[in-house]
Structure 1
Amino acid sequence: MLKLLTQTGWRFLWLAVLVFVGDQYAKTLVLDNIELYQAIQILPFFNLTHVYNYGAAFSFLHDAGGWQRWFFTGIAFAVSALVLWWLKQTTKEQTILPIAFSLIIGGAIGNAVDRLMHGYVIDFLVLYYQDWYWPAFNVADSAICIGAVLLIVDMFKNKEEKHA
């Protein structure tokens, strides 16, 4: 077991736990301190705004009648299990890939727990410019996006190494 925790990507599982705990803590702060739909301007292009997302990314299927809660929760746990298995397959020499996987796992579980506990995901980070608003997101969404970018970086890095 010690070999799994030191010689594979599982050595970065602490990062998934950190993302999950940070995400849940931030959402608890929002629930306790910001009224639903209340917007607090932090910067001229950034608000903290308490909203609920009943769907997936960009509120996809938000009005589907409730079945999407269980569908997206199931997908999150299935993807997390698959990524956890992939994480175990990474080697000690790899760094970017297991970090990416860990960020994705932590974010996916963070949003899945919201769906299980509340029936929706708590979002609160809002970027905007004049009348254009990016859909609200949260710490878990940010970790998933950073993880996805790192997957792409790793893909190009490995491509360059194979051709060198």
Structure 2
Amino acid sequence: MASKKKPTFSAVSSRSGGSLTPWLGIAFIVILLDQISKITITRTFLHGEEKPITSFFNLVLAYNKGAAFSFLSDQGGWQRYLFAGIAIAAVGFIIYLLRKHAGQRMFCWALALIMGGALGNLVDRVAYGHVIDFLDFYWRGVGHFPAFNIADTAITIGAFLFIIDELRRVNKH
């Protein structure tokens, strides 16, 4: 007589058979690296202080009250709550997508990186009222790219992986 295996259920499992745990772990690592780097830079630099590292890169302590590229940063403060709300809604939607597609590795990597970045910047908005940026790249004579941080980098890499995943999916059909 064959023995029946009892089904096991994880608190964070999905219908597609994958677990949310690795994806939440990736997001947590992004948040951790982002916050450690921001704490380090705020303890080392004064606001606006720059330290040249190479001919195209500085470390700088900058505060961004807006969104990407300082969008809406010159407003009266309401944008803090708008962007915090958008981040919370995005994280909720990402968790839904991770549950639904937990077995799709590249798609979930992309979502986990985006979620970790969104939460890293959300921590800043809630704790300080602005996002801490410190990575400053530039080209001589052309100007500076807006300063950014580890969370922004994770979001960008996640978006890039998402595009690659979609292109691969479209090319299969």
Same fold (TM over 0.5): yes
Give CA-to-partner distance per residue, 1:50-100, whole Å, 9 cap, x none: 0000100000000110000011001001111101110111142x2110000
State the distance in 1 between where 2:76 and 2:134 align.
23
Work out whether residues 9 and 90 of structure 1, in 8 Å CA contact, stay in contact via their aligned partners in 2.
Answer: no
Aligned-pair identity (%): 40
Work out whether residues 41 and 47 of structure 1, in 8 Å CA contact, stay in contact via their aligned partners in 2.
Answer: yes
Matched, 1:4 2:2: no
Name the residue aligned to 1:134.
145
Structure 1 length-normalised TM: 0.93
Name the residue aligned to 1:106.
116
Q: Measured at CA, do residues 9 and 130 of structure 1 come closer, stay the same or move farther in structure 2, by a change above 3 Å?
A: farther
State the distance in 2 between where 1:99 and 1:7 align.
16
Q: Measured at CA, do residues 152 and 4 of structure 1 come closer, stay the same or move farther in structure 2, by a change above 3 Å?
A: same
Larger Rg: 2
For residue 134 of structure 2, what is the amino acid of its counterpart? F
The alpha-carbon deviation at position 12 of structure 1 amounts to 1.9
C-alpha RMSD of matched pairs (Å): 1.5
Query: After superposition, where does 1:27-38 map in structure 2 within 5 Å?
Result: 27-38=38-49
SS of the equivalent of 1:4 reads coil
Query: Which protein has the bigger helix share?
Result: 1
Matched, 1:118 2:128: yes
Query: After superposition, where does 1:4-83 map in structure 2 within 5 Å?
Result: 4=13, 7-8=17-18, 10=20, 11-83=22-94
For residue 125 of structure 1, what is the amino acid of its counterpart? L
The alpha-carbon deviation at position 8 of structure 1 amounts to 2.5
Which consecutive residues of structure 1, in runs of 5 or more, have no partner in the other structure?
none
